[in-house]
Amino acid sequence: MQQVGTGKYKLVIFDWDGTLMNSTPKIVSSLQNAALRAGLNKPSDEQANNIIGLSLRIGLDRIFGLGDSPLMDQLVDLYRDEYLFTNQTPSPMFDGSLALLDILKQRKQMMAVATGKLRRGLDEVWQSTDAAHYFASSRCADEAESKPSPDMLIQLLDELNVNKHEAVMIGDTEHDMKMAEAIDMPRIGVSYGAQPREKLAKHQPLTIVNRVDELINWL
């Protein structure tokens, strides 16, 4: 990781899962296990990866088409049971994530999170990783419209009084890229998360990095 230096952006907004935390394997396997427990066909890894970042019900409906039904309610409950209690797949921070956050904090660059997690889920991982103190604010799936709507970003910009061109969105899915693209906000893709770089590249990111420590060159 490079020396501290001066930051290019006033506000750096991160997606969480697949961008700072290596939680994609746990999300995918939890979704697959929940589907089987509900008597549904097991979705492929690609199907599961493609909905990471969306609000849970919206993502599940894209795969299973259950709408607002008792079976959807059951599937949501089973997924949460898998992710929070049953599935023991580890979800560590990516190598370099905390070092990157340290540098940005030393630079006095504001940081925020825009995530498909519910507030309860983000608070829990922040507690387990001791990462909450890095972030000036955050928006979760139960506090804004689901990605790829830019609602999360608009709320964060308004709250923190930052112009969209003074901020950058960093994420691992097309949903992250689309929501930044919708308001012409600079965006950076990461190829080490849920989705391949070709999906990210369609939305004209500034760059697509292969490792967390490469981000500092762009921030």
CA distance 183 to 185: 6
CATH number of 24-86, picked from 1.10.150, 3.40.50, 1.10.1760, 3.30.420 = 1.10.150
* pLDDT value, residue 93: 97
| pLDDT tens digit sequence for 140-188 | 999 999 999 999 999 999 999 999 999 999 999 999 999 999 999 999 9
Predicted structure pTM score: 0.91
> Kind and range of the H or E element at 180?
helix 174-182
Omega of the bond prior to 148 within 30 degrees of 0, cis?
yes
| Sheet (strand 137-139) strand order | 137-139, 110-114, 11-14, 167-171, 187-190, 207-209
Positions of CATH 3.40.50.1000 in the chain = 11-23+92-218
pLDDT tens track, the chain, 219 positions: 555 567 899 999 999 999 999 999 999 999 999 999 999 999 999 999 998 888 899 999 999 999 999 999 999 999 999 998 999 999 999 999 999 999 999 999 999 999 999 899 899 999 999 999 999 999 999 999 999 999 999 999 999 999 999 999 999 999 999 999 999 999 999 999 989 999 999 999 999 999 999 999 999
CA distance 158 to 135: 16
Strand spans (E) along 101-166? 110-114, 137-139
How many other CB atoms sit within 10 Å of the CB of residue 26? 18
DSSP state of 116: S
pLDDT mean across residues, the chain: 94
Of 110, 103, 100, 107, the residue nearest 12 (C-alpha) = 110
**Angle at 27 (CA atoms; ends 25, 30), nearest 5 degrees:** 105
Residue with tokens 């080490």: 192
How many other CB atoms sit within 10 Å of the CB of residue 110? 23
* pLDDT value, residue 201: 96
Architecture of domain 11-23+92-218: 3-Layer(aba) Sandwich (3.40)
User: Are 168 and 219 contacting, i.e. CB atoms less than 8 angstroms apart?
Assistant: yes
